[in-house]
Amino acid sequence: MALLTGKVAVITGAGRGIGREEALLLAKHGAKVVVNDLGGHFDGTGQSRSPAEDVVKEIRSAGGEAVANFESVTDFKAAKRIIECAIDNFGKLNILVNNAGILRDRMMFNMSEEDWDAVISVHLKGSFNLARHATAYWREQHKAGNVLNGRLINTSSDSGILGNAGQSNYGSAKAAVAAMAIIVDREMSRYGVTANAIAPIARSRLTVDATPQTAAGMAQRPGEWDAFTPAHVAPLVVWLASDDAKDVHGEVFRVGMGNVWLMRGWHTGSKVSKKGSMWEPAELGTKLKEELAKGVTKKESMGEVMGGGA
């Protein structure tokens, strides 16, 4: 059953990996797709038109409709042109998937300002740029009586929601885009828009080329089920983009390996209280250590959850 017939989608970073699989499956389900990709390397350097153009060719050869776009998500004005590309070519915009990303891993004490700024610019500012223009468009259309039921899907990461050493720039940005989705949903739900985030576990340039230490664990083994193919991520994105997900608001999903986890972010795991007088620091510390020893605030790590499961 085609879930997205008549819809128009923009997917950033759609020339390879996760974005490519999302673009192909959205098109298969009837969406007209703007395939945006600057075509750079995993660290953000260079550019090429081939990745986006190749995905467009795949979609068209399968009978779908798509156009390529090569603008950089880091440029505020260029981001508006990406949104306008959908409207100019297909008459409207219903779906925005913020997927573009780069990686420049360093331990905090070795990280340069350039490495920090480049990663934050693509992931966080890039997601803002696209979301800013898309939400303004959806709000204007809604006020004019043209309800488009906009869908914003941000791409977070395990590094953002669980934490990972060596990725303070990437993880900080990915935590922020998850929070952005929650906040934008609260702002835009009155206009028929939903905003959610996904944290994929999949083989991509960011998990293989940029981090070769993970490549062996994610490699497809001959004759075995491919647990880490990015194709496992796309069905969730298609569903979140559909009318069937109209009541899904401000959620964060971890997805991959045939699993979808509904994540819960910052929440109270325990509490200590004192009324009638101020805490003394040592007294407070004693109480907090008692709570920490109970294990109720223990956090999952990426290593503990990479094995899959429910």
Please provide the distance, in angstroms rounded to a whole number, between the alpha carbons at the two ends of the chain: 27
Task: State which amino acid sits at residue 197.
Answer: A
Name the active-site residue from 156, 170, 204, 242.
170
For residue 157, indicate whether it is catalytic: yes
Beta strand residue intervals within 156-215, DSSP E: 194-200
Pull the structure tokens for residue 187: 């702002």
Q: Which member of 7, 80, 125, 174 is catalytic?
A: 174
Can you give 29-87 as a three-state secondary structure string? CCCEEEEECCCCCCCCCCCCCHHHHHHHHHHHHCCCCEEEECCCCCCHHHHHHHHHHHH
Single out the catalytic residue among 156, 157, 159, 242.
Answer: 157
Of 257, 252, 195, 264, give the one whose Cα is nearest residue 227. 257
What per-residue string of b and e applies to 7-43 under the rule 16 or more CB within 10 Å gives b?
bbbbbbbbbbbbbbbbbbbbbbbbbbbbbbbbbbebb
Q: Which of 255, 160, 250, 238 is nearest to 198 (CA)?
A: 255
- Does residue 170 have an active-site annotation? yes
Residues carrying an active site annotation: 157, 170, 174
